[in-house]
A and B are shown apart, each in its own frame.
Chain A
Amino acid sequence: MTEPLLQVRALRKSFGALAVTDDVSLSVTEGELHAIIGPNGAGKTTLISQLSGQLAPDSGTILYDGAPITRLDMAARVRRGLARSFQITALLPGMSVLENVSLAVQARSGSSYRFWRPVADDAALSQEAMQALDEVGLADRAHRPARALSHGEQRQLELAVALATKPRLLLLDEPLAGTGGQEAEVLISLMRRLKDRLTIVLIEHDMGAVFALADRVSVLVYGQIAASGTPGDIRADPKVRAAYLGEEEEGTPDA
């Protein structure tokens, strides 16, 4: 058996008295799509933030590709191939769609201490950025300011930016949040394609999407992993049905 790409061991994080990540252990094998589901406030975003380096855990270890990355900052983790998308869209609103993506390409291709040559003339940067835009279906929006995109398009751009960092492990925090119908379809089929070449940790409220895409599912409740297994196992687990799936049918998905 090969070593998992991502291994989380006994991770803990509290905000004051509230244990938001409560002894979480998790492993993600290279190539799998590992979904994390759980009710609002379960600590899913907080977990992703610790994996990506935005938040420091109180204790515990994160191993990536066999090496501990717990003390590395976000930039260092991105350079090792660990990228995230944000639940609440975090783009560069005043810059163009293309610039949003090409800045991610620029971050991993050569020095940014270049003061003279116009970045717009850098064909290599724009070309790679256009590829990422093409992949998510935003190529025709390249020169719009990011803030002018529709909500669904901004979700697509979130993905394009994460892809442009050339990740090996992609952490997606509710990529479908706030999208509907057609928009969600586009993103789901994109994830289906990405899943063939990347390892993905997916947080998602849309159970249809989760059960269609995931190889494994972990259920997070009150900061603890309540269950972990194949989509079939999870669907059948009575604890999960009571704690989460039943609740979901009455249905208040995350905003």
Chain B
Amino acid sequence: MNLRPRLIAALAIFVGMALVPPVAAALGDPFLTVIASRMLVFAIAALSLDLILGYGAMVSFGHAAYVGVGAYAVAIGARFGVTDLLAQMALGALMSAAFALVTGAISLRTRGVYFIMITLAFAQMAFFFFVSQSSLGGDDGVALTARSTLLSTDVLESDIAFFYTILAVLVLCYGGLYRLTNARFGRVLTGTRENPLRMQAIGYRPFPYQLTAYVIAACIASVAGVLLANQTEYVSPAYMAWSRSGELIVMLVLGGIGTLTGAMAGALITVGLEHTFAAWSEHWRLGFGLLLVLVVLFSPDGITGLLKRLGVGPRHD
């Protein structure tokens, strides 16, 4: 079997992004690497949302909450002397998993627009919970005194080392999700998206599979949150605002819902454009909105669908 086009597209993304730090150095513009770090962080978050929204047809409008929980895991961890990145990721994933298990079990009792609303409501609960935590800076959030340590070293203080760390995490998340979506578990998830009644009629109970996917996605989102806190060196409830959840959905719509490569591409493009155009004009979002409308109208499968039609992009997975 030949290497699938979507795998090649993903590889191209990874290689392209790996070249950013040397290019930034050559251009004498180290800020490029900083922006690219942010792009990668959101690519991880978008991947995780795509698992439930794209493969599972669970339209969560509260996914940013898990990114936020990951970010707070850094602040909370640091307070208790847990400064290691991996330990903070584990802490964030644990907190997110607990929150996702409870809220997911309740949300998955509903369908369609109710699922959207209830996930939004739970995310707002998390938002206001952290707003009310004055010891964590409340509304304003809290600045981090340093980036996390990695295996007792402070290598992450280097923007370049930090960048490659994020890239490595992204590659791992992509690889893991690629395997998962093509394994038995992923087929059950996709089948349930296609027709839940049919799945029951051949002997499945979709709920535990959907809940498992929901928890996995929450854990990955919190990993992105741990990295985001380190990238901004700041943690605030704003990370879990409902508008952030909306932006994650926008990334998927732009890149192509239900393809991992599309999710990454959508995130990279969205964050990239944000930084490029925010410098030019405050009204850049108007242009971005227009772009989104065009994509939805002319290529419902997003950028991935567009490339596919041109015969170069990844096939729909």
Contact = CB atoms under 8 A, between A and B. Distances in A.
Chains A and B bind each other:
yes
Interface of A: 52, 54, 73-75, 78-79, 83-84, 86, 90-95, 99, 103-104, 106-108, 111-120, 122, 161, 164-165
Nearest to B316: A94
B176 to A, nearest CB: 8
Interface string B185-210: 11110110011011111111100010
A86 B201 contact: yes
Interface in B155-186: 176, 179-180, 182-186
B212 interface: yes
Contact of A118 (B183, B188, B194, B201): B183
A122 B101 CA distance: 31
25 contacts: A52-B201, A54-B197, A73-B200, A73-B205, A74-B201, A78-B201, A83-B201, A86-B198, A86-B201, A92-B198, A93-B195, A94-B190, A99-B187, A99-B191, A103-B187, A103-B202, A104-B202, A108-B203, A112-B185, A112-B187, A112-B209, A115-B180, A118-B182, A118-B183, A165-B203
Contacts of A112: 184-185, 187-188, 204, 209
Contacts of A75: 200, 203-205
B280 to A, nearest CB: 40
Contact of B201 (A84, A108, A111, A120): A84
A116 B197 CA distance: 26
Given A104-B202, A107-B203, A165-B203, A92 B194 contact: yes
A107 B187 CA distance: 11
Interface of B: 176, 179-180, 182-188, 190-191, 194-195, 197-205, 209, 212
Contacts of A107: 202-204
Given A92-B191, A92-B195, A95-B191, A106 B201 contact: no
A161 B183 CA distance: 20
Contacts of A92: 190-191, 194-195, 198
Nearest to B208: A113
A116 B201 CA distance: 26
Contacts of B186: 115, 119
A90 to B, nearest CB: 5
A113 B202 contact: no
B200 A74 contact: yes
